[in-house]
Amino acid sequence: MRLTSLLRPRPAVDEDTRQLLHDVLSVYGDGEERLTLWTLLDRIADARPDTYDGWTSWTLRDALRPHGIGPVENDGRDAEGNPRVEIGVSRAAVADVIRRIR
């Protein structure tokens, strides 16, 4: 964690934001530690279409960003074992924010 992130004021957390964070955390499957914004959006929109209809991956990114949650790049492997870069949102980052705002 960077020192500047400790100095930055944390945004206020309303009920809609709390619900979003819980919705995002709830769509991670067993063993999934990182998901792309597109996958997260597809899953939360499937679970609650009335809430997330019309959202884009940018909308989701912008809603998570003030809380320090964003896509992180890491090296991964495809199904054949070839190296590839994966960009995703960490389950741990979402869980940490939920713990912090309780």
Task: Give 81 or 86, the one with higher predicted confidence.
Answer: 81
Task: Give 56 or 9, the one with higher predicted confidence.
Answer: 56
| Beta bridge partners of residue 86, listed in sequence order | 74
CA distances in angstroms from 76 to 22, 73, 88, 97, listed in the order given: 27, 9, 11, 25
Domain residues for the domain of 94 are 35-102
Does any domain span residue 21?
A: no
Domain count, the chain: 1
pLDDT beyond 50 at 20: yes
pTM for this structure? 0.78
Does any domain span residue 97?
A: yes
Does any domain span residue 17?
A: no
**How does pLDDT run across 52-77, given as a tens digit for each residue?**
999 999 999 999 999 999 888 776 77
